[in-house]
Chains A and B, each alone.
Chain A
Amino acid sequence: MPPEKLVHMANQIGKFFASQPRGDAPAAIADHLRKFWDPRMRRAIVAHLEQGGAGLDPPVRAAVQRLASESGHQTV
């Protein structure tokens, strides 16, 4: 999947959760990605992060980092 598109989609998700008055935005973003993105999309965005993660907004970057750390134990 083209990383620019995934970055764009992830940032859209990020903007929503970051605008919520309470709660942990990175956790909510990571949860949304886990629930709605097929594993190959999650793998691709984690790979993009490992390449430097250009374009990822800060809370999204933090969320993808969580996915990356989980992928140590299970297939993301």
Chain B
Amino acid sequence: MSEDTQMSLIDEIDYGTPPSQAAEMVTLTIDGRAVTVPAGTSIMRAAMEAGTAIPKLCATDMLDAFGSCRLCLVEIEGRAGTPASCTTPVAPDMAVATASERLDRLRRGVMELYVSDHPVTSLDPCTLDPCTQGDVELLDVAAEVGLTEVRYGLDGARHRSTGLDVSNPYFMYDPEKCIVCSRCVRACSDVQGTFALTISGRGFDSVMAAGSDQPFLESECVSCGACVQACPTGSLIEKAVVETGRPDRTVLTTCAYCGVGCSFKAEMKGDDVVRMVPYKDGKANHGHSCVKGRFAWGYTTHRERILHPMIRDSIDAPWREVSWDEAIGFAASEIGRIQARYGRDSVGAITSSRCTNEETFLVQKLVRAGFGNNNVDTCARVCHSPTGYGLSQTFGTSAGTQDFDSVEQTDVMIVIGANPTDAHPVFASRMKQRLRQGAKLIVIDPRRIDLVRSPHVEAECHLPLRPGTNVAVVTALAHVIVAERLVDEDFVRMRCDWDEYQDWADFVLRPEHGPEAVEALSGVPADLIRKAARLYATGGNGAIYYGLGVTEHSQGTTAVMALANLAMATGNIGRPGVGVNPLRGQNNVQGSCDMGSFPHELSGYRHIAGGDVRRLFESDWGVTLNPEPGLRIPNMFDAALDGSFKALYVQGEDILQSDPDTRHVAAGLGAMECVIVQDLFLNETASYAHVFLPGSTFLEKDGTFTNAERRIQLVRKALAPRNGYADWEVTLLLAKALGMTMHYDHPSQIMDEIARLTPTFAGVSYARLEALGSIQWPCNANAPEGTPVMHVDGFVRGKGRFIATEYVASDEKTGPRFPLLLTTGRILSQYNVGAQTRRTDNVVWHHEDVLEIHPHDAEMRGIADGAWVRLASRAGETTLRAQVTDRVAPGVVYTTFHHPDTQANVVTTDNSDWATNCPEYKCTAVQVSPSNGRSPWQQDYEAFSDRSRRIAPVEAAE
């Protein structure tokens, strides 16, 4: 971005009403100038596009026009009266006047009434105190219409005030300032889709209210902040603005939480972030966000952040703060010592899906070119590795097929193993918009996720399958589609391998894949399977969205293939509105996979055994690369216990808390001689570390993230790193200490290297990203601006490939000892292991992990709502509180993994996906019983974790 936008406050143009999608164009004149816009555009928007701002209060371009404030009046030649320009569409040859004496008078009259009802003490926006006035769009408009005095006085009677509401930790509501424009109400319903706000009361008495006249925190509000952003009067305002004052510059950046990848304006005052406001021109989020991205960034300055490097000789010793030089030197010498003693292959690294593409690329380069082996893996191993393998086998590329905007043209959505309203909230809002317009929804999930039924949204079918039976159910859908001749044969003949299709069709038609047979396995009624299959195959554009409930199974890869088969058989691939779309967990899961973080492949998904590819990197890097695949994360722990793997460099990833079968992970880490952790906090993994290198936050570095739609977006440095170095610089220090010669002055140079070495990134550079805002790979000579929808004219691999998907039951079978199936997930306000969100006020929504259990199962065990229960599997046991709910089916229990003291992963097992070793988090056979306290593991662990976090006091300097 130019110096200039970096420094000033960015205020996007508000066109007043949303753009019209019509193809037909209309020409009219506005104030004597000819203007051409799509049919259906409002006069207000047409005027703004031509550079004329018509005063407005109740209109804003993120919302449909409402027409209540009567401020935006215009005159139209040949029409009586003064229609509102926000609600009046353009017409051919219309002649509009936006200013006249009559209009000025009318507008001033309207404004005068608003201002008199508003608790201001002055009409001059420049003299406002943010504490009392907040945002002043209202007063800007008063100035715009030339209001200089208020005849009724500024201290006249106010409408009804229900009292200041400060219950939400991040924003407050002052009803006195509400002018009842309904912008917040509409933002909550139309943009966010939560319907938490209403206008209560009538006439002069009316005022906005949350829930049923409740404090915000007790209402259905999910704290997305859309209403705060929409409010023109400061009636709803961020507490941070009140406390810190109004921002004076903007840094455009990208959210570091989930795979939606919302674009944000970090609004700064000096060196403080005042607030994060979603950027309207962000192509992933179009000006919307969730509670995490907008509000939960307080962790970046949390007092527990570690800012100085630390080392220790053994994990029983307290940490010792040292200089960067000493820490890096120690780490490098340990790696050298270990490789000399145990061999070149005894060390490795884990890249982070939370760090930038550039940082990830550097870590894998460090391993391949510096360590001289391929023992590099990424946390995507444990979430979306089956997506990579499954989609590359069927379509030829390891990524989702669509952009998010594609959902606007979808008629039927299948949501399987994903919970978008909690895990991908901004995209969920888009889905709900489309569902409210009439698209149909099929949910395949063991739990009744919120999308199944929420205000104005109801799924056509919910298939509550038994955990572990995805492959059986999806294959049964295919069975119905083939048996009932709903296949799009033209598509299949043209785009796919016909012989393979026929083999596959014979396969799915086998009786064991029929709905009745699958009902017995999955518990989903056969009729419901038929209904869903028919709907998807015949309902128009069908799009599949899936999450970790598909991948994190012993048959995760097979399930991804089954979904790809389904899309090909119905011709739902290669155009807007359709496709197969993985919803990615972390902000840069897609990127970390793209960057060559997997042990067997270089960037752009090219196997390390390929001679040509390897030679390309070898000549660029000036080294010889090892052609053999390295260890994957779970293999690293096994190898550590075996004595052949001794040192690990972990960047931005808490494997101990996030990986399954905690005891196995802990034993593996404990068997290593040097564990180097680079993170913001002393996370759980750090308890086993010998070197701690402090990490930097996304606000403190330049780089790029790639979201779930393959969209590469810039992350821009808003602040100097509090720890002294951005994460890429830390890796570079380590590389240099190991004798590598690589050097970069800025992450853009790393991206240039990536582009040079990766055909799908050939056209990507920081300059292009600045110019285009974002780029969806592939971006090269054939697609210089990137690729929103993939496989348009043909599959990347040539012909689409149907693959037989035989159901294989998980080893996690229920039996007398472990009669229930546990599945895991997350919730809106917390993120992954919670290291960040637990250090923010988001804990008001979720301060502990609970176990959801069906009333029937609870009663059988004498478990009451809120009671402590013991959750045990063959791997381990833990205790937590029960929540009795029929959201889960009988026989299924569910919990989240956000809190280390619960340690849900003590219970999950080391079973994994056949193709990728992605762990089977989503299916563990368990028993639940009443408990009166914490498990021995939890008690031991707490003692251990306290002990291992000790930091020795710094000795006085000599």
Contacts and interface: CB of A to CB of B under 8 A. Distances in A.
Interface residues of B, number: 34
Contacts of A19: 804, 806
B588 interface: no
Interface stretch (B411-419, B624-632, B738-746, B921-929): B624-632
Contacts of B804: 19-21
B99 interface: no
Given A12-B554, A21-B503, A40-B345, A5 B638 contact: yes
Contacts of A13: 914-915
A22 B804 CA distance: 10
B642 A22 contact: no
Given A1-B639, A15-B806, A38 B503 contact: no
A40 B915 contact: no
B912 interface: yes
Nearest to B916: A36
A35 B914 contact: no
Interface in B896-948: 910, 912, 914-917
A39 interface: yes
Interface in B679-706: none
A16 B503 contact: no
Interface in B577-635: 599-600, 607, 609, 628-632, 635
Nearest to A6: B638
A41 interface: yes
Given A35-B600, A38-B635, A39-B628, A16 B912 contact: no
B600 A36 contact: yes
A39 B917 CA distance: 16
B472 interface: no
Interface residues of A, number: 21
A37 B632 CA distance: 8
Contacts of A2: 638
Contacts of B554: 12
A40 B645 CA distance: 11
Given A38-B599, A40-B639, A21 B629 contact: no
A9 B914 contact: yes
Contacts of B632: 36, 38
A69 to B, nearest CB: 18
B572 interface: no
B768 to A, nearest CB: 34
A32 interface: yes
B914 A38 contact: no
Interface string B628-653: 11111001001100101000000000
A9 B914 CA distance: 6
A2 B609 CA distance: 26
Nearest to B599: A38
B712 to A, nearest CB: 27
Contacts of B803: 20
Interface string B772-805: 0000000000000000000000000000000110
B629 A37 contact: yes
A38 B638 contact: no
Among A5, A21, A37, A38, the most chain B Cβ lie within 10 Å of the Cβ of A38
Contact of B607 (A21, A22, A35): A35
Contacts of A36: 600, 629, 632, 915-916
Nearest to A75: B628
Contact of B642 (A1, A9, A12, A34): A1
A12 B554 CA distance: 8
Nearest to A12: B914
A32 B507 contact: no
Contacts of B429: none
Given A1-B638, A21-B503, A38-B629, A9 B806 contact: no
Contacts of B558: 16
B630 A38 contact: yes
Interface string B71-115: 000000000000000000000000000000000000000000000
Contacts of A39: 345, 628
Contacts of A22: 503
Given A9-B917, A21-B506, 12 more contacts: A1-B639, A15-B806, A16-B914, A19-B804, A19-B806, A32-B915, A34-B609, A36-B915, A38-B631, A38-B635, A41-B631, A41-B635
Interface of B: 345, 374-375, 503-504, 506-507, 554, 557-558, 599-600, 607, 609, 628-632, 635, 638-639, 642, 644, 803-804, 806, 808, 910, 912, 914-917
10 contacts: A2-B638, A9-B914, A15-B806, A16-B808, A21-B503, A35-B607, A37-B629, A38-B375, A38-B599, A40-B631
Interface of A: 1-2, 5, 9, 12-13, 15-16, 19-22, 32, 34-41
